[in-house]
Amino acid sequence: MHVTLRDGSVLAGTLHAADEPGVVMLESESLGEALQIPLMNLRRAESDLSTTGAENEFAFELNDQSRVVGKLLSWERDAIQIQSRDLGEVTLDVGEVVSVVAAPQVRRRLQSLRNADGRWQPADGWSDPKGALECAVPGSSIVGWLDLPPKFQLQLRIRCEGEPDFELALGDRLNDERSRDGAGQGGRPRVGSLAVRPSERFSTHVNWLGQSLSLVRANPSVSDTAVAGLAQAEDELRLTLFVDQTAGRMAAYRDGIQLAAVALEDEQPILHRSISLASHGDPLRVEQFDVLQWDGELPLSRRLPDRFTLGRDGNVIGQAAVAFDPESRRFRIADQWVSSENVLRMRLSLVETDVVTDDAVRAEQAEILLADQSRLVGNFLGDDDQHRIRFRWGSARTVTPITPSRLVRILGPADGGDTTSSSDHWLIADELRLRGRLIEGLAAEGGFAWRSAMFRQQVELPIERRWTIQLRERSDVPEPRSAGQKSTRDLTAGEDAPDASSLLDASVECECVELTSGDILPGQVMRIGADRVVFRNRWGGEVTIDRGQILGVSLKAQVRVQTLGLDPLLTVPRNQAGDPPTHLFVSVTGDLLRGRLLSLDDKRCQVEVRSVQRSLPREAVARILFLDPATGVDDSCRLVLRGMQGVRLGLPSATLEGQKLTAHHAVAGDLRIPLESLQSIASGPRNYRENQPETPQLRPAKQPRTFDRDPPRQETPPPTETPER
- Secondary structure (DSSP) of 566-582: SHHHHEEPGGGSSS---
Predicted local distance difference test score (pLDDT) of residue 637: 82
Residue 31's Cβ-count burial label (10 Å; 0-12, 13-18, 19+) is: buried
Band the pLDDT of 191: cuts 50, 70, 90: very low
The residue that leads in pLDDT, 446 or 238, is 238
DSSP 360-404: HHHHT-EEEEETTS-EEEEEEEEE-TTSPEEEEETTTTEEEEE-G
Predicted local distance difference test score (pLDDT) of residue 215: 95
Predicted local distance difference test score (pLDDT) of residue 242: 97
The mean pLDDT value for 186-206 works out to 57
The Cβ of residue 302 has, within 10 Å, a number of other Cβ atoms equal to: 12
For residue 120, the 8-state DSSP code is B
To the nearest 10°, report the CA torsion of 459, 464, 467, 469. Answer: 70
Q: Would you say 548 and 514 are in contact if contact means Cβ atoms under 8 Å apart?
A: no
Band the pLDDT of 443: cuts 50, 70, 90: low
The chain-wide mean pLDDT, for the chain, equals 81
Beta strands 699-700 and 571-572 are: parallel
CA distances from 674 to 207, 663, 685 (A): 59, 12, 22
Predicted local distance difference test score (pLDDT) of residue 686: 67
Q: Would you say 512 and 677 are in contact if contact means Cβ atoms under 8 Å apart?
A: no
* pLDDT value at 482 more than 50: no
H/E stretch holding 488 reads helix 488-491
280/136 Cα distance (integer angstroms): 10
Nearest to 571 by CA among 613, 614, 622, 628: 628
487/485 Cα distance (integer angstroms): 6
Nearest to 24 by CA among 368, 469, 446: 368
CA distances from 720 to 556, 713, 717, 724, 725 (A): 77, 21, 9, 12, 15
The mean pLDDT value for 602-611 works out to 90
CA distances from 493 to 96, 474, 482 (A): 67, 18, 19
78/340 Cα distance (integer angstroms): 19
157/135 Cα distance (integer angstroms): 14
Least confident of 17-31, 323-337, 701-715: 701-715
**Greatest Cα-to-Cα distance within the chain, rounded to the nearest angstrom:** 122
Question: End-to-end alpha-carbon separation of the chain, Å?
Answer: 94
* pLDDT value at 60 more than 50: yes
Predicted local distance difference test score (pLDDT) of residue 509: 66
Bridge partners, residue 481, by sequence: none
140/120 Cα distance (integer angstroms): 14
Q: Would you say 28 and 9 are in contact if contact means Cβ atoms under 8 Å apart?
A: no
Predicted local distance difference test score (pLDDT) of residue 501: 45
Least confident of 316-330, 415-429, 603-617: 415-429
The mean pLDDT value for 479-495 works out to 34
The mean pLDDT value for 270-291 works out to 92
Q: Would you say 683 and 463 are in contact if contact means Cβ atoms under 8 Å apart?
A: yes
400/88 Cα distance (integer angstroms): 8
To the nearest 10°, report the CA torsion of 292, 295, 298, 302. Answer: -60
CA distances from 547 to 132, 507, 572, 611 (A): 68, 20, 21, 21
The residue that leads in pLDDT, 702 or 678, is 678
114/488 Cα distance (integer angstroms): 50
Task: Report the residue count for the chain.
Answer: 725
Predicted local distance difference test score (pLDDT) of residue 557: 73
Band the pLDDT of 198: cuts 50, 70, 90: very low
Band the pLDDT of 353: cuts 50, 70, 90: low
312/628 Cα distance (integer angstroms): 82
Least confident of 290-299, 398-407, 434-443, 472-481: 472-481
Bridge partners, residue 244, by sequence: 151, 249
Nearest to 287 by CA among 343, 353, 243, 334: 353
Predicted local distance difference test score (pLDDT) of residue 696: 64
Single-letter amino acid, residue 254? R
Report the share of the chain in percent with pLDDT over 90.
39
The mean pLDDT value for 639-651 works out to 86
Predicted local distance difference test score (pLDDT) of residue 381: 93
3-state class percentages of the chain: helix first, strand second, coil last, to nearest 5 = 5, 45, 50
Least confident of 115-119, 255-259, 351-355, 445-449: 351-355
DSSP 460-481: EE-TTS--EEE-S-GGG-----
622/592 Cα distance (integer angstroms): 10
DSSP 17-86: E-SSTTEEEEEETTTTEEEEEEGGGEEEEE-SPPP---TT-EEEEETTS-EEEEEEEEE-SSEEEEEETT
pTM of the model: 0.75
Least confident of 27-41, 424-438, 476-490: 476-490
The mean pLDDT value for 361-386 works out to 87
Single-letter amino acid, residue 159? R
Hey, what domains does the chain have and what are their CATH numbers?
2-50+354-411 (no CATH), 78-106+304-347 (no CATH), 111-181+199-293 (2.60.120.560), 488-626 (no CATH)
pLDDT (tens digit per residue) in 107-146: 888 888 877 667 888 888 898 766 789 999 998 999 998 8
pLDDT (tens digit per residue) in 21-53: 999 999 998 888 899 999 999 988 999 888 777
Predicted local distance difference test score (pLDDT) of residue 355: 43
Band the pLDDT of 199: cuts 50, 70, 90: very low
Predicted local distance difference test score (pLDDT) of residue 712: 58
Q: By three-state DSSP, how is residue 315 classified?
A: coil
Band the pLDDT of 561: cuts 50, 70, 90: low
Band the pLDDT of 200: cuts 50, 70, 90: low
pLDDT (tens digit per residue) in 284-299: 999 999 999 999 999 8
Q: What angle do CA 100, 106, 108 make, to 5 degrees?
A: 135
Beta strands 655-657 and 532-537 are: unpaired
Q: By three-state DSSP, how is residue 340 classified?
A: helix
